[in-house]
Amino acid sequence: MKRLLCTLAALCAALTAIYAQTSLLGTYKAAETSKYRTENCRISGMKLSSAFTLGSPEGGLISDNVKGTASFNIGGGYEKITFVVGPNSSGEAPLSDNSLVTVRADGRIVFDDVVFASDAPRFFILDIKAAKQLVFSVVRGSVEVTFANVKLWKAGQSVSNPNSLYPKLPSGKVKLVRELAYYNKSSGGYVKPVLGDRFKTSMSEVKTIMVSSKEYDSGLAFSIDQALMGKTMGHASFWLNKRFEKVSFIAGARDNQSSNASVWLVVKGDRKTLYEECIRQNELSRQIVIDVKGVESLTISTEYRSSDFLGGMTLAVVDIYAYRAGDGSVPVPGTVNPNKERIAQLPDVCPLMSSIRPFSVRGVSKANSTLFEGESRHYTFSMGGTKYWEGLLLTTGNTLLGDRIDSYAAFDLAGEYDWISFDAGCLSKRSYMDDDNLLIYVDDQLVFDRKIYSTWPSQHYRIPVYKCRTLKFARRGTGKEKQTVIGVGDIILYRGEPVDNDLFVREVPDAPYETDLIDFCGRPYFHYNGRFVSDLTSFSMDDCFLDGSTITRSFRMKDGREINKGFMLETNIPLGLENVTVMDAVFMLLTGVGASVSSSDVAAYTGVSAGASGTVNMGISLLLNDSSNKQAAAAAFNPMGEYESCTFTVENMREYVDEFAEVFGNMTRENVLNAVKLNVMADRVLVGEFWLDNKMDPLTVTVPIFKCRQLMFWLECGDIRSGQYLFHDLKLSKSPCHLPIPDSYTPSGSANVSSGSAKASSGSANDSLGSAKVPAGYAAAARGDAAARGASAARSETAARGGKKSKKEAKVEPRVEWEVKYYSSGVSAIDSYLSDVNKAWKATKEYQNGAYSMPSSSETFVQASDGKVYKCFSFVDSRGARLSISDMISKLEARISEGKSVIDDISFAKLGVASAGVGLVSLKSLEDMSIYGKLLKIAPKALNQCSSDVNLSIAQSQAMIDAFNMYRSLALEVDGKSSSDTVLILPAGGSDQIPQALQRLEYFDF
């Protein structure tokens, strides 16, 4: 009974103490006020009933510098005051805005603090010593301030200020955003919560977010646009109330269309920096753990660092957890492998694109236009006339400011696969003559670098990937105005070495015994006419091909006939007098003759040797060349390996005569005929050579094509532009063809064409059009048995491995010399153009003089504590002093940047050629026309040579950077000794000459 009475007495005392509390707003009315209100009061987004808000001197649309104040006359009977204070905000306030706040008791300052717009509620107990008047003021700043739950306490009362605002949380770890929401975030959509099944509207929320190919349903999504470096773009604040010791989260770029962006992720506790990290778009996500012991408010924010022009990124901060003291479930920080379990369940032989999505994609085209994930066999891309329903496209280009946009697609393989196989080639039906290298990186180490030729069909490759985490297909781009698209298709993953499989089986086409080439193949998968792809002309490649589907469109011949099915070829030389061309187009050159392989070592690059089709002759290789200043013309079809021969008719549709010959009266027979050489190739094997000219009769010929998958019609470019030649009535046949084919390549300089008839070097010409002459020395028909095929392939392989080059190999274009001097023609367009050429030539020479060479190296073999041998490797200068790899890379990057600036000067100079050509007719004398006409002919060659030289120097600098990075990637940490920027610890190779006496690693001077 006594215990009960004691308990009741204590309860009564407690209730008396509670009721003894005096509510300031409930008891007293403000005597004097300014910018004072008691309605719609908030603290950090939380609505409060017993509160008042004071406005700021600098707040509102128009600042009036009037302080927010409220004074209360309380009579002097109180010793203490308690309250909650914080910013009056809706929960979307900037981090830096603040106000200075004071509380005075009878004029004496008892509270003087800074309230930030992003603050959480704060609780205070103040001594007012029987003051008669209290004055609350916002003296400076832009933030409205709210005081809530203001209580007055008399002497002897038990004073308390409990946190009644904090939410109830579960025991154990707490999931931020979902269980403990942020109380403040930036406005403007820079940060949105990831809510999963709680998602309502995309205007202010995100349902799920994909990071490193894994989908998350809780966290924050920060949108960062291009801005001044260091500008805070988004933030979110959590009220931890000093209740937690650790916070963990996963951070990474949202699986993205990359703009080469990077951002700073900054985490602050009570406005003190706890963590900073640079997050890049092309990196995997990482687990981050932060110590937050004693932290009241935790703010996660982002700052823009770098990107392409007008670029940006979305940064995901997901799976955010707070841990109380002693919680053993805190994760280990570092790179995470979230897809390991899922990918481990995939088959041992697995298609990449339909199984694993890339986590980062870059290029000038949108990712959804460049990724083919096997959704339908009707949604495809084509390489070499073959359709692929799984694969990717690498699209490169330039920004408006002239910077290169490279391209890549990066995948997280979770360390599960050993090999990949794939096909690679240039995208069909792109009329750009441009070669580029396909690069493959395995865990950021370059393992594959191959030239992809725009005129070649796709090639098949198999490479090891060493159970890597990241696999990246990439290309750097060429910097040219128009660039081809490289495709990678039929990508297959293998555990162990590659094995035969049926993942990508294509249907055998319905191929009649005889059929029309265009009906069977459609548009040429590669078709190039230089003047028709130029941005400086109004021509279109659509005017170079007709499929016969309508009679409303047709080619009109010289004699008035109209032909509505066929294709046209025309060579070109891009000079101002011939009104064409983007000056940095790439030009075709025919090289590689007889049993030789060109200096580019094409066979070694692709594994497909000339002559591998089984013909008894050696083939010729087709390459692109940007220094010849000539544009050949070509069209390629894929007969799908179904046909033995092709019959076609070719005739001159439009004549062309050199305008210089007309102006200066040099109308020789050679200039009137303007002969041009046609090569026909089947799988890059020369099967026919024909001379065409302005005055020729229609020529019908049949050539063997040996069930090829690439049938190429190639018009070589001479010293002047050719006429336009129409190919029509193209027929395919499965009937065996025993016609002779060339056993060697005939140089185009050996033309001997009579007026009115074209000469055929191979194949069968229709007698009704005149007898075609077949020179002696041609091989017999080329079907051969297996032994002949093997011998041919063997000869090709021998050539590819360094056999002697044929004496008939195509000539290399001679280099030109440009005299830098003052030119004064009296025509501003010409003088301005030649002045720009002078500037570009001079800049090129100066740039070449600043070339770097690969430094010497020094290596010392050392022995580790376990007996293994390593070498300490350094790059050294001429005095033997160690060089910093980072410094060398920085210098090379600066040199590349300088080279790009020179390329810009060259490109600018090229723009003036058309105006200069037009200005030539304004010259006053034939002598001036002759002098400046010659200059205008050599100037484009000089500029192309400059461009080629600078691009070569840039490529050499990049190759050196790649070499340095390769060395870095091999560097090790052994016995506690780490590789540095000047000394790399490398494994000893099998070819190293290891001395018997070895230095101990622990004693090596790093």
Decide if pLDDT at 353 tops 70. Answer: yes
**pLDDT of amino acid 587:** 27
Concatenating the DSSP letter of every residue in 704-769 gives E-TT-S-EEEEE---SS---EEEEEEEEEE-S-----B-SSPPPGGG----TT--EESSSEE-GGG
Residues ≥6 apart with Cβ < 8 Å to 769: 697, 698, 699, 700
Least confident residue range of 131-135, 777-781, 996-1000: 777-781
Q: Predicted confidence band at 402 (pLDDT cuts at 50, 70, 90)?
A: low
Residues ≥6 apart with Cβ < 8 Å to 879: none
Least Cα distance to 555 among 650, 546, 541, 539 occurs for: 546
Q: How far apart are CA 447 and CA 463, in angstroms?
A: 8
**pLDDT of amino acid 150:** 95
Decide if pLDDT at 596 tops 80. Answer: no
Tokens 């009037």 correspond to: 66
Beta carbons of 163 and 241 less than 8 angstroms apart: yes
Average confidence (pLDDT) over 211-239: 84
pTM of the model: 0.64
| % of the chain exceeding 70 in pLDDT | 82
Q: What are the chain's domains?
A: 22-153 (2.60.120.1060), 174-338 (2.60.120.1060), 344-494 (2.60.120.1060), 514-800 (2.60.120.1060), 828-987 (no CATH)
| Residue predicted with more confidence, 663 or 676 | 676
Amino acid at 185: K
Least Cα distance to 517 among 838, 777, 731 occurs for: 731
**pLDDT of amino acid 282:** 87
Decide if pLDDT at 420 tops 60. Answer: yes
Q: How far apart are CA 158 and CA 18, in angstroms?
A: 9
Q: Classify 454 as helix, strand or coil.
A: coil
Could you give the residue ranges of the DSSP H alpha helices within 288-416?
A: 340-344, 367-370
| % of the chain exceeding 90 in pLDDT | 44
DSSP structure class, residue 849? H
DSSP structure class, residue 500? -
Q: How far apart are CA 957 and CA 890, in angstroms?
A: 11
Least Cα distance to 646 among 577, 727, 745 occurs for: 727
587: exposed, middle or buried (C-beta count within 10 Å: 0-12, 13-18, 19+)?
buried
Strands 174-175, 312-323: parallel, antiparallel or unpaired by DSSP? antiparallel
Q: How far apart are CA 175 and CA 180, in angstroms?
A: 6
Amino acid at 531: R
**pLDDT of amino acid 227:** 64
Q: How far apart are CA 920 and CA 914, in angstroms?
A: 10
Q: How far apart are CA 469 and CA 972, in angstroms?
A: 19
Could you give the residue ranges of the DSSP H alpha helices within 324-380?
A: 340-344, 367-370
| Residue predicted with more confidence, 944 or 3 | 944
Decide if pLDDT at 187 tops 80. Answer: no
Concatenating the DSSP letter of every residue in 773-817 gives P--TT-B------HHHHHHHHHHHHHHHTTPPPPTTPPPPPPP--
Tens digit of pLDDT for each residue in 607-637? 222 232 322 222 333 333 334 457 888 999 9
Q: Classify 868 as helix, strand or coil.
A: coil
Q: How far apart are CA 714 and CA 236, in angstroms?
A: 63
> 459: which 2 tokens?
């090639």
Residue 659 Cα distances to 576, 664, 674, angstroms: 11, 9, 12
Q: Predicted confidence band at 785 (pLDDT cuts at 50, 70, 90)?
A: very low
Residues ≥6 apart with Cβ < 8 Å to 41: 47, 48, 51, 52, 53, 88, 146, 148
Average confidence (pLDDT) over 746-774: 44
**pLDDT of amino acid 327:** 93
DSSP structure class, residue 558? T
Q: How far apart are CA 694 and CA 699, in angstroms?
A: 13
728-750 burial by CB neighbour count: b if 16+ within 10 A, else e?
bbbbbbeeebebbbbbbbbebee
Q: Classify 929 as helix, strand or coil.
A: helix
Decide if pLDDT at 817 tops 70. Answer: yes
| Residue predicted with more confidence, 948 or 82 | 82
Q: What is the mean pLDDT of the chain?
A: 81
Least Cα distance to 253 among 144, 142, 391, 358 occurs for: 358
Number of Cβ within a 10 Å radius of residue 952: 13
Q: What is the 3-state secondary structure (H, E, C) of 3-41?
A: HHHHHHHHHHHHHHHHHHCEEHHHHCCCCEEECEECCCE
